[in-house]
Amino acid sequence: MTTGQRIRFWISDHIVMLVALFVLLYLFLPVAYTFAFSFNNYKKSNISWNPEGSPTLDHWQNPCGPAGICDALTTSITVGGIATLVATFLGTLLAFALVRYRFKGRGVGNILVFIPMATPEIVLGASLLTLFVQGFSQFGLKLGFWTIVLAHIMFCLSFVVVTVKARLQSLDPRLEEAAADLYADSFSSFWKVTFPLVLPGIVSAALLSFSLSFDDFIITNFVSGDTSTFPKYVYVSYLRGIPAQANVIGFSMFVIAVALVVLGQVIGSRRRSPVK
Amino acid sequence: MSALAHLGSTGGGAQAPGGAAPEPTKKGGFTAYLLLLPGVLWLLVFFVAPMVQLAAVSLQSQFPGYPGYYYRDVNFGSYLTAITEYLPHFGRSLLFAGAATLFAFVLAYPLAYAMAFKAGKWRGVMMICVIAPFFTSFILRTVAWRQILADEGPIASTLRFLHLLPGGHITETWVAVVAGLTYNFLPFMVLPIYASLERADPKIIEAGGDLYANGLTTFRRVTLPMSMPGVLAGTLLTFIPAAGDYVNAELLGSDTSTKMVGNVIESQFFKVLGGFPVAAALSFTLMAVILALVFLYVRRYGTEELL
């Protein structure tokens, strides 16, 4: 085999992987840009690179510099936390009911959970805005922090249900039967057998909820009034120029999230391995 | 929907035999309703009620001479305005979202395939790589695309140097908007396709080769049909948010020729006094069009696994 042939074989054997790596690079390109522009020594706008100023660490040393940016970040994290807790709890209950029980209206329940996911965010945002403005304001609920939380719980809920449902459906029902055969009552068979097996699904549902809530812009923009979240802060400041501190925070969140996911995977695989 | 559900679920653990979702065995109306109650109430108050309110708003009429004041009515005038005046925006929304879905599919499939069959121990790492960009804000990444595609950026300069850019710009055109939409919703295409390929048995694909099918035939007749639930869920998860999006058109597109329905809805709500009924009618029309397309699409390509 000539070298040329060998290269051709190697390429045809690895072509899918090469394309895949190329797509991954494409996914990371804007993140790299975000990172690079966090060092931009710009004068007026951070939209283009200033070739005169040498790269600077100023923005990293002063991430809360621009007015309101860290308040917006705090709001995003708080909203994400509350929405995740409530949506994960309610969604897990829903998932158990839909997978484990036969009852009248089960089909309707499935559809009610599915439709919010098939509705564009802008329609969800618009409908919530009309309800909050024309209905709820009579009860003294103004657009702001709590309307954002209420809306986020709603759209996270469906994603929690489908995630936990998938995990529940993939469980072997014989495991619970075995627990019953070993004289476990339904309470202990739930907490000792079912719940630990479903837990990974609940955890990934919670992670999904938090990331959906943290990064949501469209619905938030409709229901937030004067309150700012991190994505909204970035969007609103786009016209006058996004401060490089936003890049610092955005890239840091990326690093923290990756670190947490890697940590979770390591712990998860350690815990799983002795069972094999 | 179970295919979509795998989006966030981690594989492994105790798998049910056969793979098909088992039918629930427990009868128990009371417990089930008790578990359902809080979540269903939440969806009724914060999903169904707002939709009803939006429907009511879309039918309201304006007090003549008092812009911004409406009264309860059954007036389909707003729908007429929505459809006649903003038809090009609807067209663009569907076209851009359709193109973005197609491009996302072309990019996502090889990635999902490589993750499922070629990555081996690198699977977890690749999975993290697909999800990780989510955590840098979606707005920041879209702004980064504006910088990448800018007139002085690397791509536009190269194309201009090669005389391949007749207009001179990428930003402010539909190309930039479709590129942004493709990018932003790509992970939603990758994850469900990966989930359905991961569950497929590679031995079945090998069997295609053993039966003297060439690579393309094996893909078309064996691999693709096996991943169909994932493809279906992925295209829906890409198309629906893309069709309703306005951020990409706002940040990457032009002020006039690339605006989508989302942009009109947003500006009718926030910038036009008395724009609520038309905005509500636009929202409902958009939702109806999307649901109709989804219904047709699912009926044509759907499997039982979807719902």
Indicate which CATH number applies to the domain containing A97.
1.10.3720.10
Residue A145 covered by a domain: yes
Contacts of A28 in chain B (CB under 8 A): 129, 133
Examine the domain organization and report whether A112 and A176 are in the same domain. Answer: yes
- ipTM of predicted complex: 0.86
**Average pLDDT of chain B?**
83
- Cβ of B43 within 8 Å of Cβ of A157? The answer is yes
Find the domain containing A256 and state its range. Answer: 244-276
- A46 assigned to some structural domain: no
Q: Is residue A51 part of a domain?
A: no
CB A151 within 8 A of CB A219: yes
Position B241 pLDDT exceeds 90: yes
Residue A205 located in a structural domain: yes
Question: What CA–CA distance (Å, rounded) separates A175 from A193?
Answer: 7
Choosing among B26, B31, B33, B36, which should be mutated to test the A contact, i.e. which has the most A CBs within 10 A? B36
Judged by a CB distance cut-off of 8 A, whether residue A242 touches chain B is yes
Q: Choose among A249, A254, A247: nearest CA to A40.
A: A247
Q: Which 45-74 residues of chain A touch chain B by CB within 8 A?
A: 47-48
What pLDDT is attached to residue A272?
58
The span from the CA of B287 to the CA of A121, in Å, is 10
Residues A87 and A214 in one domain: yes
A43 belongs to a structural domain: no
Residue A260 at interface with chain B, using a CB cutoff of 8 Å: no
Same domain, A191 and A75: yes
- Answer whether B149 touches A (CB < 8 Å): no
Higher-confidence position of A141 and B281? B281
Residues A173 and A275 in one domain: no
Q: Are residues A270 and A203 in the same domain?
A: no
Task: For residue B265, give the nearest of A122, A128, A262 by CB distance.
Answer: A122
CB contact under 8 A, A20 and B247: no
Q: What 3-state DSSP class applies to A45?
A: coil
**Is the backbone of residue A103 left (phi > 0), alpha (psi -120 to 50) or beta?**
beta
| A256 and A166 in a common domain | no
A116 touches A155 (CB < 8 A): yes
Q: Are residues A211 and A163 in the same domain?
A: yes
Q: Which distant-in-sequence residues (6+ apart) come within 8 Å of B171 by Cβ? A: B146, B149, B150, B151, B156, B252
Same domain, A198 and A271: no
Residues A87 and A166 both lie in one domain: yes
Written as six digits, the tokens of B214 are 């060439």
Question: Using N-to-C axis directions, what is the helix angle for B228-244 and A121-134, rounded to 10°?
Answer: 50
Instruction: Walk me through the domains of chain B, giving residue ranges and CATH numbers.
Output: 78-301 (1.10.3720.10)
Examine the pLDDT at B1 and tell me if it is beyond 60.
no
- pLDDT over threshold 60, residue B4: no
B302: confidence class by pLDDT, cuts 50, 70, 90: low
B130-161, pLDDT tens digit by residue?
888 878 888 999 999 998 998 888 888 888 88
- Nearest C-alpha neighbor of B184 from the set B229, B116, B224, B244: B244
Q: How far is Cα B163 from Cα B158, in angstroms, rounded to an integer? A: 9
Query: Residue B280 is inside which H or E element, if any?
Result: helix B276-301
Written as tens digits, the pLDDT of chain A (276 aa) is 677 777 776 776 688 888 999 999 999 999 999 999 899 888 777 877 877 777 888 889 888 888 889 999 999 999 999 999 999 999 999 999 998 888 888 888 888 998 898 899 999 999 999 999 887 777 778 899 999 999 999 999 999 998 898 888 878 777 777 877 787 777 787 888 888 888 988 998 998 899 899 999 999 999 999 999 999 999 999 888 889 899 999 999 999 988 888 887 787 777 655 443
pLDDT tens-place string over residues B88-143:
999 999 999 999 999 999 999 999 999 988 888 888 888 888 888 878 888 999 99
> Is residue A238 a part of any domain in this protein?
yes
Do A167 and A236 have their domain in common?
Answer: yes
* Residues in Cβ contact with B266 at an 8 Å cutoff, skipping those fewer than 6 apart: A122, A221, B246
| Number of domains into which chain A is organized | 2
Q: Is the pLDDT of residue B2 over 70?
A: no
Considering the domain boundaries, does residue A102 fall inside one? yes
Give the count of Cβ contacts less than 8 A between chain A and B: 324
Residues A252 and A156 in one domain: no
Both A209 and A87 in a single domain?
yes
pLDDT for B24 beyond 90: no
Using CB atoms within 10 A of its CB, is residue A79 exposed (0-12), middle (13-18) or buried (19+)? buried
All residues of chain B having their beta carbon less than 8 Å from the beta carbon of residue A166 are 2, 5-6, 9
> Is any Cβ of chain A less than 8 angstroms from the Cβ of B137?
yes
Q: How far is B233 from chain A (nearest CA, A)?
A: 11
Domain for residue A14, yes or no?
A: no
